[in-house]
Structure 1
Amino acid sequence: MLAELLASFLFLISSMIFILFTGGNKKRSITGGKQGVPAANNTVSADPGLLPRSYPVIGSYFAIYANRDRRVQWLADVIRSSPSATFILHRFLGQRQVFTANPAIVHHILKTHFHNYPKGELLRESLHDFLGDGIFNVNGDTWKVQRQVSSHEFNRRSLRRFVETVVETELSDRLVPILAAAAEDKATVLDMQDILQRFTFDNICKIAFGYDPAYLLPSLPPGEFADAFEEAVLISSGRLNSILPVVWKLKRVLGVGSERRLRLAVSRVRDFARDLIREKKRLIAEQSTTNEEAAVEVDILSRFLMSGDYSDENFVIDIVISFIHAGRDTTSAALTWFFWLVSQNPDVEREILEEVHQLKSSGGGDGSGTAVFDETRDMVYTHAALCESMRLYPPVPVDTKEAIVDDFLPDGMLVKKGTRVVYHPYAMGRLPELWGSDWAEFKPDRWLERPGDASSGGNGGGRGAPGRKWSFVGRDQYLYPVFQAGPRVCLGKEMAFLQMKRMVAGVLGRFRVVPALDKGREPEYFADLTSKMKGGFPVRIEPRTIDYSGN
């Protein structure tokens, strides 16, 4: 705390001196344009009222500090004010950071010039104590090998097993009984965000590691690991978004404050992952001794351990933590905001229920695994509603790359070596130029096509629910990079959709999820590494008069 106060005091004094003797920039010019926007090659002055004012040496420190509690929303506002959907944020000591919601630029950094925009050193250093050299924090050959090994677990057979056994069991044996108990006691208020994190945590551990943490039990047991994981995410994110990185680096050297808490949290998380790995090694050794092929279910962790190339236990721990982060935090974030949006749009909820009912009716509703898997795949309207929810609240709201050589972006902007380039899915989902003047409305129909509609250039992607005359129309992945795009596009995209759709059908088919917020109050958006609701999502559960689940 003392080190942080001293650094902040010295910085503030130097800032005031420069302000007294220098003038700030009142207006900047930004070149280029975004996909589908006229006058892309013209130089246009951005709205000076929204662009953060920059001063010598300290850059836009005051604007960054003033918006530190709503960083994602503020940056989205600034991006929208720019005719090119791209602007430069001036930071301390002349550092420049490019923020963009321009699909052409996203395509440029994620595909055509992919090798010039890896994970930057600042991002790697900020997250390394937590994620280490796991797949989401590395580049080059280390990333390629992890991706190649992991990709074997995302085939059709694994996806079917995931839905038929893992998700279905977690849903029917744990989640539904908890919600049913809450529905019986009208005074019960659940934190749906916490429930969803428990649900996705159990699921990712089962499918990726063959381990059941049983975190979603009726007692909702306190989880030392989950608490430590949450703190590690929060502090690591604070590092990445720090106005003065020197502060957290000094605290790390001194072992005080948030850095001390991070060290303790990461230690608990790594102990959990280490125990999981050693148990898996024991089972694999036992299998090889007894020659019992069924002794170990092949999963992602087994593949890494049995490959023989991962003798470094710490490296395997990094891999485990990265997959827990992806499987727990991103999917639960998507579902949390989805349930909020559906609760505010009863017409959408009715369409989802009608789809679930028709699929159950046409499929016989025999409860077999095959029926469950096929029904889940065919939930076209629900798929569209999830896409629409993630447009407004992408699980990962921003993503950072760093140029390793000088480069020109498609709009003509020069990016010098070492410059961080941040694409902003949260802002992209709110641009009227990309989504129309009704961008603020929650409209799953914008993802659907009916006979007679003009082609939207989509990829089809669904047979349509029985009796329905629509199909899903996907969007260009560089216009909608919610699952990243290009070579690093999310391996678990289909798995995430299957999990979410099955969970939505199982929950909404039986219950109404009713926000327990004060009248007129909405959830407060908060982002660390993923999009969350600050303080959780309190809800009451009400039973449906008609059970649409088919059970």
Structure 2
Amino acid sequence: MGLILGYAEIILAIVCFLFMWSFRNMNSQMPWNWPLLGMLPSLFLHVHRFHERCADVLEWSGGTFLLRGPWFSNMDILGTVDPANVHFIMSANFANFPKGPEFKKIFEVLGDGIFNTDLDLWTNQRKQARALLNHERFRKFLIKTSWEKVEKGLIPVLEHVAKQGFVVDLQDLFQRFTFDTTCILVTGYDPGCVSIEFPDVPFSKAMDEAEEAIFMRHCLPESVWKLQKWLCIGHEHKLTKAWGVLDDVIGKYVSMKRKELSQSRKSDGDEEGLDLLTSYINEDEGMGLDCDDKFLRDTILNFMIAGRDTTSSALTWFLWLVSTHPEVEKKIREELNSILQPKEGEKWKLFKVEELKNLVYLHSALCESLRLYPPVPFQHKAPVQPVILPSGHYVNPKMKVMFSLYAMGRMGFIWGKDSKEFKPERWITDRGTIKYEPSYKFLAFNAGPRTCLGKEVAFTQLKSVASAIIHNYQIQVVEGHPVTPNVSVILYMKHGLKVKVTKRWT
């Protein structure tokens, strides 16, 4: 009996010690490196505020921090916001940091699309995507589509909620808007999600659930999430169901397009047939790509994520920032008023793309919003060969290097003491022009050879929507509505953006 009591006292002492140890480190600034588990407990303790936690740790550590994963899991991650490291990885040493097989496992739902591929397959896809996106016909199609969806989709909804005095979730509305426009530009079909009926959108819900599951794959050992997948539980079960929805919807679009094109071939001079899906199918042989249904499925999904998610995220955070910073809102309105014709006066108006392209303050405010709230808040790379980064940190092929774009925008050593403030003026030179910031410092549109091809597409839509809303309506966030980032690979607001809309003009 005495021996049993002795063992019990020892076990109790160990439990008390571990409890006190964990309690002390739960409240410490830096993650604690546990035996066997590494820093995984700290990661999950703060996972609900992952982006803010990254910013805190990287600020405390001077810009670079090694997160130790569980033993034997190959989950060591070097987090960095050092611009020299970013430039080295994204540009100077680009070939040594491909997306790689580990990235493709985590993002497997994207298939062999442009975000997942490397080497010749990526090069060919990027070449063709650049040619299509930069084509004058596509640009005209983009401007026409954006204008019509603002005029006939977004504005009627805003007029309706303003007249009725309803509370509307702007994030949901922007997701619907960008889903419609992206779907039209990519497939040629309008799903009609922007309407006063607010119809259910299974595709959008599936994308959200897939992105949340992808995020969790970053936090768990591969063996754990693969077990969840095999058991059909948790986020992996949601991902499987979401994957089916995405395949089904995209498959229908591809089938409809093939049938449409087989029945009626349109000449190059026609206004219709400018969507990317039509271009890929019609120019299959000339592109040097095998545009079978699998390729088209992967390509469409990659474009949909790029167009729908990033732009709607950017719009949501931008309108929230502007509506909560009256001095910025006033300056944007003054700039919009400055391009009105004398005969127009101050009244209801939708601005054309050409009218907005030279507005310095609007562009600066958008860049500032993207700096603080980048739609893709983090990304990771892994080296093929071991290498020492400019910061002096060693990385090998069994490690990941993660950039926190969310944290980069909040670092005083990068952006100055006022780095956490929303200050569009930081983007304006003394001459009154847009100030250039290198991509390895402002990473919202990526950097190096993988710089975003859709940057101009994004700014076209952002300016069209932002100008229409800011000039014509007053947006007021519902009192007490919580605004906090979600936990996903796309930076959305966890609870949406609930606002009331009032008209500025009768």
After TM superposition, the score normalised by the length of structure 2 is 0.89
User: 1:60: how far off?
Assistant: 0.9
Q: CA deviation at 1:145?
A: 1.4
**Is the 1:160–1:373 contact (alpha carbons within 8 Å) kept by the matching residues of 2?**
no
Partner amino acid for 1:331? Answer: T
Per the alignment, in what secondary structure is the counterpart of residue 532 of structure 1? coil
Is the Cα–Cα contact under 8 Å of residues 137 and 274 in structure 2 kept in the other structure? Answer: no
Partner residue, 1:517: 479
Contact 2:100/2:118, CA 8 A, preserved across alignment: no
Show CA shifts across 1:400-458 (max 9, x none): 1111110110112111122100111111100111111111211101101233xxxxxxx
Is 1:449 matched up with 2:449?
Answer: no
Q: 1:209 aligns with which of 187, 196, 203?
A: 187
**Cross-structure match for 2:241:** 264
CA distance in 2, matches of 1:140, 1:183: 51
| Secondary structure of 2:71 counterpart | helix
Name the CA distance, whole Å, in 2 between partners of 1:69 and 1:505.
Answer: 34
Does residue 441 of structure 2 align to residue 482 of structure 1? no
Which amino acid is the alignment partner of residue 434 of structure 2? F
Residue 292 of structure 1, CA deviation: 7.8
Specify the alignment match of 1:167 in structure 2: 146
* Structure 2 match to 1:58: 37
1:281 aligned residue (245, 248, 258): 258
Deviations 1:275-302 (A, max 9, x none): 11122222322344x7686385133222
Report the secondary structure of 2:79's partner residue.
strand
Read off the aligned partner of 1:354 and give its amino acid letter.
E
Q: How does 1:94-105 map to 2 (within 5 A)?
A: 95=74, 96-105=76-85
- Residue ranges of structure 2 left out of the alignment (5+ in a row): 1-10
| Code of the aligned partner of 1:201 | F
Residue 179 (structure 1) aligned with residue 139 (structure 2): no
The answer on whether the counterparts of 2:142 and 2:185 sit within 8 Å (CA) in structure 1 is no
Cα distance between partner residues in 1 of 2:274 and 2:324: 42
Equivalence for 2:317: 337
Match of 1:9 in 2: none
**What secondary structure does 1:449 align onto?**
coil
Within the alignment, does 1:111 sit opposite 2:87 as a pair?
no
Question: What is the correspondence of 1:121-132 to structure 2 with a 5 Å cutoff?
Answer: 121-128=101-108, 130-132=109-111
* Paired position in structure 1 for 2:365: 385
Cα distance in 1 for partners of 2:404, 2:233 equals 33
The 1:349–1:163 alpha-carbon spacing in structure 2 relative to 1, beyond 3 Å, is farther
User: Are 1:404 and 1:417, in contact at CA under 8 Å, matched by a contact in 2?
Assistant: yes
Q: Shift of residue 265 of structure 1?
A: 1.4
Cα distance in 2 between the residues matched to 1:329 and 1:292: 31
CA offset digits 1:30-85 (Å, max 9, x no partner)? xxxxxxxxxxxxxxxxxx953211133221122112111111111111100123x1
Q: 1:67 is matched by which residue type in structure 2? A: H
Q: Deviations over 1:146-195 (max 9, x none)?
A: 11111123327256424531111000111111111111122x11011000
Query: What residue identity is the alignment partner of 1:227?
Result: K
1:541 is matched with 501
Q: Is the 8 A contact 1:127 1:240 kept in 2?
A: no
Alignment match, 1:32: none
Structure 2 counterpart of 1:281, which letter? R
Q: Which residue matches 2:4?
A: none
Offset, 1:88: 0.5
Note if contact 2:91-2:448 (Cα within 8 Å) is conserved in structure 1.
yes
Q: Cα deviations across residues 205-249 of structure 1 (Å, max 9, x unaligned)?
A: 11222121111122111112222222222222222332x332220
1:89 aligns with 2:49: no
Q: What is the aligned partner in structure 1 of residue 274 from structure 2?
A: 298
> Separation in 1 of the partners of 2:358 and 2:132?
22
Q: How does 1:267-416 map to 2 (within 5 A)?
A: 267-288=244-265, 294=270, 296-306=272-282, 307-308=284-285, 309-361=289-341, 372-416=352-396
User: Does the 8 A contact of 1:404 with 1:418 survive in 2?
Assistant: no
Verify the 8 A CA contact 2:351 2:468 in the aligned structure 1: no
Instruction: Tell me the equivalent position of 1:37.
Output: none
CA drift of 1:119 comes to 1.5
Residue identity in the other structure for 2:70? F
The 1-side partners of 2:64 and 2:233 are apart by 38
Partner of 2:204: 226
* Whole-angstrom distance in 2 between the partners of 1:491 and 1:199: 21
Partner secondary structure for residue 147 of structure 1: helix
Report deviation, 1:259: 2.5
Alignment deviations for residues 335-362 of structure 1 (CA, whole Å, 9 cap, x no partner): 1111111111101001111111111227
RMSD: 2.7
User: What is the DSSP-based 3-state SS (H/G/I as helix, E as strand, rest coil) of the residue aligned with 2:270?
Assistant: helix
- 8 Å contact from structure 1 (residues 405, 418) kept in 2: no
The structure with higher relative contact order (CA 8 Å, sep 6+) is 2
Does the Cα contact within 8 Å between 1:163 and 1:372 map onto a contact in 2? no
Query: Does 250-259 or 103-112 show the bigger shift?
Result: 250-259
Match of 2:67, SS state, is: strand
Match for residue 436 of structure 1 among 403, 416, 421: 416
Distance (Å, rounded) in 1 between the aligned partners of 2:223 and 2:463: 44
Match of residue 226, structure 2, among 249, 267, 271: 249
Q: What corresponds to 1:455 in structure 2?
A: none
CA distance, structure 1, for counterparts of residue 93 and residue 434 of structure 2: 30
Q: Residue type of the partner of 2:454?
A: G
Q: Cα 1:162–1:431, aligned 2, differ >3 Å: closer, same or farther? A: farther
Which of 55, 58, 63 is the aligned partner of 1:76? 55
Evaluate the alpha carbon distance shift between residue 338 and residue 295 of structure 1 in structure 2; reply closer, same or farther with a 3 A threshold: closer
Q: Indicate the residue corresponding to 2:456 in structure 1.
A: 494
Please give the secondary structure, in 2, of the residue aligned with 1:216.
Answer: coil
Cα distance change on mapping 1:318 and 1:206 into 2, 3 Å: same
Q: Which residue of 2 is the match for residue 240 of structure 1? A: 218
For residues 22-33 of structure 1, the aligned pairs below 5 Å read none
- 1:194 matched residue in structure 2: 172
Seq. identity, %: 33
Which of structure 1's runs of 4+ aligned residues deviate more than 4 A?
Answer: 290-293, 362-365
User: Residue 530 of structure 1 aligns with which residue?
Assistant: 490
Q: Is the 8 A contact 1:116 1:405 kept in 2?
A: yes
Matches of 1:131 and 1:222 in 2, distance apart?
Answer: 23
Alpha-carbon contact 1:91-1:97 (below 8 Å) kept: yes
Distance, in Å, in 1 between the alignment partners of 2:367 and 2:328 is 13
Provide the C-alpha distance between the structure 2 equivalents of 1:302 and 1:362, rounded to a whole number of angstroms: 43
Rounded Cα–Cα distance in structure 2 between residues aligned with 1:113 and 1:362: 54
1:71 and 1:114 map into 2 onto residues whose CA distance is 27
**Alpha-carbon offset, residue 142 of structure 1:** 1.7
